[in-house]
């Protein structure tokens, strides 16, 4: 479904200084797979996701979705951001229908799908409410429906539960897997939480500190469907420990690189 080869991203600051956010990031994601991306703050996780969404151009490498080069935003790609970003003056149903509206699709064509998706995520009956009338978790569910309403091939999620309390976050993780199981979309999920990545994923891409590279790909062979009780198992702890170990490897590689670079100067 996704093939990235040598992706890089360099920003130019106002001081005309180059900042290398990504360097030689290469990976694949299979059709219907749930893949998470973890790494330290500032390693380029969100930058990578924005490139995959077509919201940001890369400065190096290639990116293909289902064999086609990603050149910009597409109805085939749905995005869920860190915050719900619901329009406060629109009802939940109007927010969900907004992406179709701005693309010129008559709301009547997808209203039934929107209602079915709201039912799927437990928001049936709140279509006429406004965002401020819903909890944070409910708002994020509405944001997920908004991303799914045009039936995208790929769903990208950028730390969507980072602002929620721990209990609500666990519930949203279970809810996300239930939605994924029902819709069978290809999902790429960015998170700071190793436990969240293990719980949700088929595979986890581990990134190095900036400039971000894919240090390791860790396969998660826990049985599905996943349950919260699995988080206390030895197998779960082993997977989390392996990812943590690879994060350390990535950091050590960068430290060694910096030392060698400093010695050469």
Any domain includes 110: no
Residue 47 gets the label, from left (phi > 0), alpha (psi -120 to 50) or beta, of: alpha
Whole domain around residue 182: which residue ranges? 2-76+152-264
Any domain includes 109: no
Any domain includes 239: yes
H helix or E strand, kind and range, residue 218: strand 214-219
Residues contacting 220, CB < 8 A, separation 6+: 198, 201, 202, 203, 204, 239
Residues contacting 63, CB < 8 A, separation 6+: 2, 3, 4, 5, 7, 51, 52, 69, 70
Instruction: Identify whether the C-beta of residue 152 lies closer than 8 Å to the C-beta of residue 76.
Output: yes
* pTM for this prediction: 0.87
Of 66, 27, 33, residue with least CA distance to 49? 27
Q: For residue 163, what is the domain's CATH number? A: 3.40.50.300
Q: Give pLDDT, residue 247.
A: 83
SS (H, E, C) 31-51: CCCEEEEECCCCCCHHHHHHH
Beta bridge partners of 10: 20
How many structural domains does the chain have?
Answer: 1
Any domain includes 89: no
- Mean pLDDT, consecutive 10-residue stretches, the chain (265 aa), reads 94 83 93 95 90 94 92 90 93 92 80 90 92 93 91 93 87 90 93 95 94 92 93 95 79 44 43
Any domain includes 44: yes
Q: What count of Cα atoms within 13 Å lies in the side-chain half-sphere of residue 22? A: 26
Q: Give pLDDT, residue 103.
A: 82
Residues contacting 12, CB < 8 A, separation 6+: 18, 19
Any domain includes 10: yes
Any domain includes 196: yes
Any domain includes 143: no
């Amino acid at each position: 479904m996704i093939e990235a080869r040598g992706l890089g991203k360099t920003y130019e600051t106002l001081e005309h200084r180059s900042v290398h956010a990504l360097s030689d990031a290469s990976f694949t994601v299979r059709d219907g797979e749930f893949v998470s991306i973890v790494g330290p703050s500032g390693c380029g996780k969100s930058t990578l996701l924005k490139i995959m969404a077509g919201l940001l151009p890369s400065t190096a490498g290639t990116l293909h979705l289902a064999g086609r080069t990603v050149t910009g935003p597409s109805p085939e790609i749905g995005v869920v951001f860190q915050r719900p970003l619901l329009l406060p003056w629109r009802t939940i149903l109007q927010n969900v229908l907004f992406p179709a509206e701005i693309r010129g699709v008559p709301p009547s064509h997808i209203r039934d799908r929107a209602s079915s998706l709201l039912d799927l995520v437990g928001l049936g009956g709140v279509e006429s409410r406004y965002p401020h009338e819903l909890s944070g978790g409910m708002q994020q569910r509405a944001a997920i429906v908004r991303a799914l309403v045009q039936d995208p091939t790929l769903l990208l999620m950028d730390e969507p539960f980072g602002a929620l309390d721990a209990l609500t976050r666990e519930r949203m993780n279970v809810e996300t897997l239930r939605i994924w199981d029902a819709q069978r979309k290809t999902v790429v999920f960015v998170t700071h939480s190793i436990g969240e990545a293990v719980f949700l994923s088929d595979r986890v891409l581990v990134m190095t500190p900036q400039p971000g590279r894919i240090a390791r790909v860790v396969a998660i062979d826990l049985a599905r469907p996943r349950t919260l009780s699995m988080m206390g198992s030895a197998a779960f702890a082993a997977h989390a420990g392996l990812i943590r170990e690879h994060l350390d490897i990535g950091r050590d590689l960068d430290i060694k690189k910096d030392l060698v670079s400093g010695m050469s100067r």
